[in-house]
Structure 1
Amino acid sequence: MKKIFLSYITACMLLACTNNQPMTVTVSNPLDIDRSGEMVEVSMDEISNRLKLADTAQIVVLDAEGTEIPYQITYDDKVIFPATVAAKATATYTIQEGIPQPVEVKACGRQYPERLDDMAWENDLVGFRAYGPALQAGGERGFGYDLFLKRNTSEPILEDLYAKELDKEARARAAELRKTDPQAASELLQSISYHIDHGYGMDCYAVGPTLGAGVAALIDNGEIVYPWCYKDFEVLDNGPLRFTVKLEFNPLTVKGDSNIVETRVITLDAGSHLNRTAVSYTGLQESLPIATGIVLHDDGAVKTDAANGYMTYVDPTTGPDNGKVFVGAAFLADIKEAKIVKYSNDEKKQHGNAEGHILATSDYEPGANYVYYWGFGWDRADIKDINAWNNYMANFAQKVRNPLTISIN
């Protein structure tokens, strides 16, 4: 009887071990280019079912050498983690029950009501903002995306930039100093301004009444239907590896219909220079052209490659010596046309003296998502010249059209 009891206990233990076997994820790269730190996604439901996890159980992700890999569970219940896979090769990762190590925050953001409702976000390489309802209520036309440049750090910088820029006490001291020492007042204001690089980043990109660094807009009778600032927002993911925000806009008038509502879902992953953006419109009754635009501030180098799905521009930045910003967009689906559109002198006055836009045009079908990617590099950070940027963009366009694939054992 005792032997039977012990055999039963042993069988139960073996069954329990079988139910908690690690899960192997094989990531395959179909391209002949190496891919490093690219996010892959696995359903959390599938992980839970395969590992037979209790509700409170945690997991760890390990590479082939057994090194723990950081991960995040997203708002739509996916486990994302960065994968590195050589050209035309596979890499194996293991997911198992365990207590993960803390993960350093690489992607995050929030609304800044203290700065006219800016929605600002960043990762370890780049930062961005979309202008909000408070700015629009003041009458300012800020249609496009703005850029926050970063260097010499992989840590979040936006909280510090905004805190200094909006320092009321410092600005009050500067106002007093102007009466007796204008030079000291100017130096104090420069020391807190986010328009000046203090060693780790700055805002020196001009947007104005344009599409800025990559906003997409419908085309109605050959004219861009400029979207104003967002109306409502919902932060869906806030790090440590992915930031996702959903923006909803006030109704647009398109084809005489004043009830067309735009929604954008913007996602920025750690390690990427580009945001993924899915744009949709409710109320639209017919197919229309949609254009992704990058504002032109001068006659800097432009590259448009519709066949391979990307476009780039070298922006001069504002200020005396802030380097060059390399702006670009990449497209998941084929685009019909990518071209430079220059403004007349009268149009320049209406658009903050901008020279025009690069526009990549596709067709938008009612009820669909228009998905594309947009972002930038800076010659004071990791992208040193336009050749490096064009190579990055060409490779990025290949990657989004040929994603990493996973199989689970």
Structure 2
Amino acid sequence: MRHELSDEPVRLPIERPSGCPFDPPVAYASLREKRPLTRLRFPDGHVGWLATSHSVVRAILSDSRFSSRYELMHLPYDSGIEGTLGPAPVGDLTGLDAPEHTRYRRLLTGKFTVRRMRLLTERVEQVTADHLDAMERRGPTLDLVQEYAQPIPALIICELLGVPYADQDFFRRQTEVLITQGTSEEEKIAALTAFQDYLHKLVLTKRAAPTDDLLSDLTSSDLTDEELAGIGAFLLGAGLDTTANMIAYGTFALLSNPDQLAALRGDPGLAETAVEELMRYLTVAQTGARTALEDAEVAGRLIKAGETVVVAMEAANRDPERFPDPDTLDVRRNATGHLGFGHGIHQCLGQQLARIEMRVALPALLTRFPTLRLAVAPEEVPLRTGMNIFGVHELPVTWDKE
């Protein structure tokens, strides 16, 4: 039976609780309990929906009646862009539906299998050890983001794709422009153009003289130069930022929960469950959006064609109906089914690589520096508000030198 909504639409952003850098907005809990699909007013005047429960978010993400295409989407935050977005840049899988999305995904899935990513474990361990050695020489007080969290996944994704690591600062600057809410359309276009121009030149080099890397491997496919450059930019941007942020933000969460820190340090074998729990508990990719292609009834609500639904993954991952005592970090929890990597056809392509990097980097850091702690008060850690990926800009840490 369908229930009609008569309540006043809510607006985003909804305030996160002050003094708690890990919890989603308190309002999500009451919305999820009373009406897991709530009317939402967008900055452009559109009235769509906000989904906050695990079951509803999961249902929408797996429903082909809902589109990821950017040009159909109303943005829930003030983006500084007038009107609607244009179509997804070539190679950007996030903004595509089937069959276009299927074609790209099929080409790439085999490159990121569990088996292939596990073969990289030894290299991830070596890169991690090298950066721990460098931290020990430089420490004991430093920014964990710059010295550890960023360079490990950056080096791995650059090697995997065949991109010169020396240029990673350039990539990072462009990525930050693209994921920061409120940057102008001109700035985003300039960053995207610079990113793709670089990759296009690199693709031409790979075609002329292939090397042992993913981009060279893909030159034997039917992808055009433009498509290959776009996919390279998409994979590089994703690989540079999200995992780096999870390593830093995850360390912050562990340092703020001494019992969980002690559990993981005492038993590095907990790394697998700890990573899944941190992905659930922190949910750095807080929201996504889908637009209904046709009228669709979900959870007793009628979502009309053309209406955009914002899916609050951070609310879904704190749903007590799916995860008991959801506001508690528990590195022993079985967090299977969390939405930290998304769900459906757009579930994170590089999730297996991200898992390996975090499973190696977090316990190795805690083992090498048993007295690791924050070098500033928790409230002084600068949070990444106003960005598509939540977390920390810096994480000042220190330890006792032996």
Same fold, TM-score > 0.5, yes or no: no
Whose radius of gyration is greater, 1 or 2?
Answer: 1
Please report the TM-score for the alignment, with normalisation by the length of structure 1. Answer: 0.29
Higher strand share: 1
Higher helix share: 2
- Greater relative contact order structure (CA < 8 Å, 6+ sep): 2
